[in-house]
Amino acid sequence: MTAALLFAQVEKVATPKLDWAATAPLLILCGAALLLLLISSLTTSRPARGTYAVITVLASAFAIGTAGVLWARVTDAERGAFTTAAGALTVDGFSVFFIVVISLGIALSALLADDYLRRENLDGPELYVLMLLSGAGGIVMAMANDLIVVFLGLETLSIALYVMAGFNRRRAESRESAMKYFVLGAFSSAFLLYGIAFIYGATGSTNLGDIAGFLNANTLEHTGLLLGGFALLLVGFGFKASAVPFHVWTPDVYQGAPTPVTAFMASASKAAAFAALLRVFVSTFAEYRLDWQPLIWGIAVLTLVVGSVLAIVQTDVKRMMAYSSISHAGFILVGVQAATAQGVSAALFYVLSYTFMIVGTFGVATLVSGKGDEHHGLEAYRGLSRRRPGLALTFTVFLLAQAGVPLTSGFLAKFYVIGAAVDAHSYALALIAMLSSVVSAFLYLRIVVAMYMTDEEGAEPGPRVRVPLGAGVALGLAVAFTVVVGILPQQVVHWADRAIPVVLASGR
Amino acid sequence: MIAQNIAFGILAASSVLAAIRMVTTKNVVHAALYLVVVLGSVAANYILLAAEFVAVVQLLVYIGAIVVLFLFGVMLTRAKLGHEGELDNDQRGLAAVTALLILGILGYVLVDYFGDDKLPQLNRTHEQLNATRGTGAVGNAIFSTYLIPFEVVSVLLLAALVGAIVLARRD
Amino acid sequence: MLSAVWLIPALPLLGALLLLVFGRKLGEPWSGVLATLMVAGSFVAGVVTFLGLLDRPAEERQFLFHVFDWLPVGGFNVDIGFLVDPLSMTMVLFVTGVGALIHLYSIGYMHGDRGYPRFFLYLNLFAFSMLMLVLGDNLLVTFLGWEGVGACSYFLISFWFEKMPNAVAGKKAFVTNRIGDWGYMLGMFLTFTTLGSITYFAKDGSGFLQHASGLTGVTATAIALLLFVGAAGKSAQLPLYVWLPDAMAGPTPVSALIHAATMVTSGVYLMVRVSPVLAQSYHWAPQVIAWIGAITALFAATVAVSQRDIKKVLAYSTVSQLGYMFLAVGSGAYVAAIFHMVTHAFFKALLFLGSGSVIHGMHDEQDMRFMGALRKLMPITASTFIVGWLAIAGVPPFAGFWSKDEILLSAWGNNKALWAIGLVTALLTAYYMSRQVFMVFFGEPRWDQAHHVAGEAEQSAAAVDDERTDVAHGVAVDEHPAPTPHESPWTMWVPLVVLAVLAVLGGGLNLPFNHDVSFLANWLEPVVHATEVVPDVATATKVGLAVVAIIAALAGIALAAAVYLKQRVRAVEPELLLHAYHYDDALAAFFGGPGEALAEGTAMADKLVIDGAVNGAGTLVRAGGSRLRVVQTGYVRNYALGIAGGAVLALGWFLVRAGL
């Protein structure tokens, strides 16, 4: 080997083939972020109100559009799923499903943020930029075919979220929540990274396809390292998905963060966490299912119980919903625990319907909280049906959906995960899940009752509630989805069924 | 081999001791300086493993940037520079137990899996080693196998940049 | 003609949608008229379908109507579809028939209410849900209706939601029903896993009732009892009955429609529907149902004896009569259960509407102690109410006698002790209903006392906590100087008259004399023939039992007459019974005591561990250190410890798995 040869090698870097269509959603989101920055720095006058939000929504819509094209390609029996960029990204139904879910999360949260930012006098492109970049990180997590890529996606998602949580600088709670989220997030990332190192040590690769191939082909004599890696990965993913006991940050951060950001966190960020969890555990570590299933079982039980019981004792609606979102994570874990195709598609259905429900819920909270983002107590909702019958009805739909009342998508979501658990013979878990849904019904009911009670004599009426256009559109979409899918779920179930993650070796 | 083992022993001992001192010292500046020792030992370990590039990056990034940032942070936030009695809190007992448990479990796992396995002896020339571990190889990998991670890191940095502006900006 | 079945639920749904959009514009009375017409149309569609079914030979009387594929479950679809058979058509006819009458009645009753269109919207929505429940061709569609009627019930109880007791009662109904729903869902999932289907009957024979015979005893028992938990919640059986008496806080037509005639009987319907599963379960499973039914019947009848609120008496009476139906179901007398359900719908709806007419005429007075001698002022209400009374008391030839007699007969065939309980209940029923009639329509007029003793009444209301003097319309008694009772408008008394006729003639549906006049039994035969238990009793015994029942009924009436009419005997109305054995209080005490302590405990844990940063900030400020630092990082270390602790547990688990 001469130096000349080395030099020649450097000259000809064999860059991998990149499928542009497959990465288009990512490029669109990042491109839109750059565009927003460009516009705001190149124009001297303020652009027309809502410009930033519209661009964000359009970008998400384009991302969803390209995802639609991809969907046709990956579900085509002859072409099927594939990997791109040297096996770093997988493009399968699962990826496409999450591209859509996360883009929806971005679009809906952006619609909520539009008026919020003006109301709080924070108008500017930064929140949207962060949202788009964070969403792109989430999509990377969902598409990742390599643990390193999963980790980087998670970090991109998180870094942007930390800042978003502290976006309302004037509120101490907002700053505080950002700080907490950041410190704890970094802490849990360390666990995740260590877990990746363990998995690498045990299998000799970070590529999911290679790992799965290795685990299928070899029987490990000492499984400690591998299983230790599982545990550490679970800590990292569990943290992002707010599974108990890694949920500790959730109530504070959800409560403190600006409400549209909370909506984004609860929808897109949680979806991304579950995407990673499903792809890595259910598909890649399928061989060691019997080892990790019981642990997920335990986590699911804890999450369900803690989420629903602690939600009841809250008085702050936003905090209540934070706990409620924890218990929803428990339900999704019920689907994960089943570790069957049915379980995965149930979890996917849950994630999608949950995205709409929770964005809608926090959307209503955004509007009711009023200027300063501070009216989150139950008393702010008292008599809402008088002041804003439409809004009260909308909120009722979201709450009933969260409680799992039939004819809403929430019912079917719960029905499918519990059905999957029963099918996988996890009877006890199914029982606990049902019980927790009964318990949490109290909580949702409490809010509904508060809304439909008129003010007591002498009590001052709650703050005036305005419903701006953007938020109205977002809430309308969310209600429409919740109700229509609750009645006609066929198509969505069909999508979820075809979005089971596949794990492909990097060769393909 | 023996020389390597002795070197590793010294490095390991110094990094463990420094790490312990770092969390027990009551002086913030001292803690930052102990961190330098820890990170430096790690960098030296990389050299022992013949990964010069990583070692240099470790030095540049961690000691050159991060620790300096720490010290700046300490200076700018007007934290007490000298002896500080409140760095500890009553949770430290529990924290120590938890940390030791994690250490024990992770250590056990590593010993259990690798035992006293030896790395395969490779009779390679310096050039061959360079082709797989050297700076050139790292460069190649970044633009081939790890293209996507590399690009994602750039997005991550962009997010961090925007975030920094958002947080630092005055109203 | 059978295809007209889709119109049956579609019309009320259309009505609900129209009212949702145009309700405000239509206003009073047109929104009420629209709603009534929709349910009446649904009744007509029901009759058409019924005739279509009648046209077929008995063994072919089953028709499946597929609406659309609803949701995929496992490898196949659960569709929205209707099962038309004698059982569902019986339910449809009386639900729409009685429903239409009650809609008509509400036009007058709700006169002047602020939420007039909204009330009819809920009422139509309820009719739709109830019809889905009875027509659904699988457990899930039934469940859909099941939840729907529950939600409508909740909305209608809370109808005057400004009132705290209404909201609380609505909440109670919701929660108790959730417990029942839990049983239902479990039963449904179990059915699905063991039988692979939740469709009752399918054309290809894959319905779960079609191969229920393949079930093992233990599975069948589990399914049957789980579904019974659901049925007990919906049909207010012990121990889940608590919500029904409280649900009387709703408007009276709601009490009549939902809490007497239709919704509360859906539990009975469900048990009859899944009777093939019940037949397959261990022998003790139906016995459990029979005993719970019998004990509920007796329990509620004793409570009804001491109630003062006119609607509370009827509420406990409903619980008691539902107990009878479950006694019949548990004894395998499905026809008798359905028969009693139908006759009960007639006379109980009549009684409720009658009581509503009384309340209306008395300007919202509900305490029977302040009524009396109303028969002269409200002749139509009084005479129809008396018909209802005779029917429920079991006096021949009124409807109640025939159906109750059949239930007692089947109880006799099952277990003599059950029969004895049923007989005592029959006596009590006659007693408390007579007490009510005498207190309200006979004796001295006491309504002018209401004004003077309003204060006392309120005190007792506060003490009893379940009596409310000004339930409806937000009109307090005190605002009216000595109200004079008056007869109600025609929209209110016409339904009363129709129902009274039905309460007289309803027994003719199923006469025991010979096979040809047992119309209902013959009609239902294709549905229940495999599972119906025919008591093996000689004709002489049958007649003897009937005579004993008549004597019991007359004895009850005579006793009540002696106490309340002639006042020869002092009334025995123990406080214990007024408070329904303090069962409700005990529940409340539990949830207020240990239950609340538990919740408080978790709340404390939450505060200490998780809420710390928010709530504990003050404490920490005192402990030293600047406020800002406390707020920003004070508790992060706790959180981090939590996460690390979780990591240790997770690692520990895997190490055990790996064989440490």
List pLDDT tens digits, range C361-395: 777 777 777 777 777 778 888 888 888 888 888 88
Q: How far apart are CA C534 and CA C461, in angstroms?
A: 48
Q: In the numeric block, which tokens belong to residue A399?
A: 């709450």
Please give, rounded to a whole number of angstroms, the shortest distance from the CA of A186 to a CA of chain B. 14
Using an 8 Å CB-CB cutoff, list chain B residues near A140. 148, 152
Cβ(C134)–Cβ(C217) below 8 Å: no
For position C525, what pLDDT does the model report?
Answer: 79
What pLDDT is recorded for position C574? 67
Q: Cβ separation of B105 and C655 shorter than 8 Å?
A: yes
CB C67 within 8 A of CB C81: yes
- What are the φ/ψ torsions at residue C562 (nearest 5 degrees)? -60, -40
Of A246, A248, A489, the CB nearest to C610: A248
Span C10-46, pLDDT tens digits: 899 999 888 877 777 777 778 888 889 999 999 999 9
Cross-chain Cβ contact C644/B98 below 8 Å: yes
Contact A183 C73 (CB under 8 A): no
pLDDT higher than 80, residue B90:
no
Give the distance from residue A91's alpha carbon to the nearest chain C alpha carbon, in angstroms: 26
pLDDT at C353 > cutoff 90: no
Task: Find the CB nearest C657 among A235, A238, A291.
Answer: A291
Q: Cα–Cα distance between C143 and C157 in angstroms, integer?
A: 21
Counting one residue from A and one from B, how many pairs have CB atoms under 8 Å apart? 121
Q: Nearest CA to C351 among C322, C379, C301, C315?
A: C315
Contact B143 A228 (CB under 8 A): no
Q: Where are the domains of chain B?
A: 2-88, 124-171
**Cα-Cα-Cα-Cα dihedral sign, residues C99, C104, C108, C113:** positive
Token pair of A426, please?
């996890």
The domain B2-88 is placed in CATH, from the list 1.10.3720.10, 1.20.120.1200, 2.40.70.10, 2.20.25.90, at: 1.20.120.1200
| Burial of A73 per CB tally in 10 Å (0-12, 13-18, 19+) | middle
Chain B neighbours among A 1-40 (CB < 8 Å)?
A: 1, 6, 9-10, 13-16, 18, 30, 33, 37
Phi and psi (nearest 5°) for C309? -75, 130
> What are the backbone dihedrals phi and psi of residue C81, each rounded to the nearest 5 degrees, phi first?
-150, 160
Chain C CB contacts of A454 under 8 Å are 161-162
- What ipTM score was computed for the predicted complex, to two decimals? 0.88
- How remote is the C-alpha of C61 from its chain's centroid? 29
Tell me the C-alpha distance between C506 and C401, whole Å.
Answer: 10
The token pair that represents C72 in the structure block: 């995929």
Q: Does A131 touch chain B (CB under 8 A)?
A: no
What is the least distance, in Å, from the CA of A313 to any CA of chain C?
6
Of A10, A156, A166, the CB nearest to B159: A156
Q: Quote the CA–CA distance of A390 and A393 in Å, as a whole number.
A: 5
- Which chain A residues have a beta carbon less than 8 Å from that of B171? 169-170
| Closest residue by Cα to residue C37 from C127, C104, C128 | C104
**CA gap C34, A378 in Å, rounded:** 38
- Cα C137 to chain center, whole Å? 22
Distance CA A461, CA A382 (A): 8
Q: In C, which residues are within 8 Å of A233 by CB distance?
A: none
Q: Which of C136, C131, C147 is nearest to C93 (CA)?
A: C131
Peptide bond into A245 cis (omega under 30): yes
* pLDDT tens digits, one per residue of C560-613: 888 877 776 666 666 666 666 666 666 655 554 444 455 455 444 444 444 433
Q: Spell out the domain ranges in chain A.
A: 18-497
Record the pTM.
0.80
The predicted structure's pLDDT at residue C612: 39
Q: Test C74 with A419 for CB contact under 8 angstroms.
A: yes
The answer, yes or no, to whether residue C68 has pLDDT greater than 90, is no
- As to burial, measured by CB atoms within 10 angstroms (0-12 exposed, 13-18 middle, 19+ buried), residue C283 is exposed
pLDDT tens series, chain A, 508 aa = 455 555 555 556 677 888 888 899 999 999 999 999 999 888 888 788 888 999 999 999 999 999 999 999 988 878 888 888 888 899 999 999 999 999 999 999 999 999 899 888 887 889 999 999 999 999 999 999 999 999 999 999 999 999 999 998 888 888 888 988 999 999 999 999 999 999 998 998 999 999 999 998 888 888 888 998 999 999 999 999 999 889 888 988 998 899 999 999 999 999 999 999 999 999 999 989 898 999 999 999 999 988 888 887 777 888 889 999 999 999 999 999 998 998 999 999 999 999 999 999 999 999 998 887 778 888 888 878 778 888 988 998 999 899 888 778 998 899 899 888 988 888 889 889 988 887 787 788 778 877 876 544 445 555 677 888 989 999 999 999 999 998 888 889 889 988 888 888 755 4
Q: List pLDDT tens digits, range A363-383.
A: 999 999 888 777 888 888 887
Q: How many degrees, rounded to 5, is the angle at CA C26 between CA C23 and CA C32?
A: 80
Q: What is the mean pLDDT of residues C291-299?
A: 91
